[in-house]
Amino acid sequence: MDWLTIGEVASRSGVATSALRFYETKGLIASERTDGNQRRYPRATLRRVALIRAGQEVGLSLAELAEALETLPHDKTPTKADWERLSRSWRTRLEAQIAELVGLRDELTDCIGCGCLSLKSCAIFNPGDAASGLGTGPRYLLGDSREAVAADS
């Protein structure tokens, strides 16, 4: 196996050396040391770093990634099964994220259609119905919507 210096990993992965050291403190990657105490990374580290970046794109935190990467060997290429497991779960996550945004967009579109200035059912502007307390159901979270509502407080 050949080893890469931190600078090589950095330029080949597009990740700063400071970030790589940071990842190492977090246990996301690992290295051996030379006699002179310099880090030497196994080649598979490039793939690990790529996985980290991809995972971040998908919205995972480094802590979550550390957990996911725990199951992969530090010093050799992950198997196709390893990769499939990760990519499938990440895709699931992506899909959930997409669904959430699409829902938000649709609501926003509805709002545009109605003006949303007094819409009781607007989900965006009535998130979880945190308002009120008067027990009269959804409040006009966007504030006063003329007389009718102004009279409720």
Q: Give residue 11's identity as a one-letter amino acid code.
A: S
CA distance 9 to 20: 8
45-104 residues near its own copies, rule: CB under 8 A: 45-48, 50-51, 53-54, 57-58, 77, 80, 83-84, 87-88, 90-91, 94-95, 97-98, 101-102, 104
| 90-96: long-range contacts, CB 8 A cutoff, minimum separation 24 | 90/54, 90/55, 90/58, 90/60, 93/58, 93/59, 93/60, 94/58, 94/59
Residue 6 sits in the site that holds DNA (CB under 7 A): yes
Does position 130 interact with its own copies (CB under 8 A)? The reply is yes
Separation between Cα atoms, residue 102 and residue 107, nearest integer Å: 9
User: 118 with 145: CB under 8 angstroms?
Assistant: yes
Residues 41-60 that bind DNA (CB under 7 A): 56
CA distance 102 to 97: 9
Residue 55, helix vs strand vs coil: helix
- The conformation of residue 93, written as its DSSP 8-state character, comes to H
Q: Does the footprint of its own copies cover residue 30 (CB under 8 A)?
A: no
Closest approach of Cβ 14 to its own copies, in Å?
A: 3
53 versus 85: smaller Cβ distance to DNA: 53
Query: Residues in the site for DNA, rule: CB under 7 A?
Result: 5-8, 10, 16-19, 21-23, 34-39, 56, 61-63
User: Contact residues for its own copies (CB under 8 A)?
Assistant: 2, 4, 8, 11-14, 43-48, 50-51, 53-54, 57-58, 77, 80, 83-84, 87-88, 90-91, 94-95, 97-98, 101-102, 104-105, 108-109, 111-112, 115-117, 124-125, 127-128, 130-133, 139-146, 150, 153
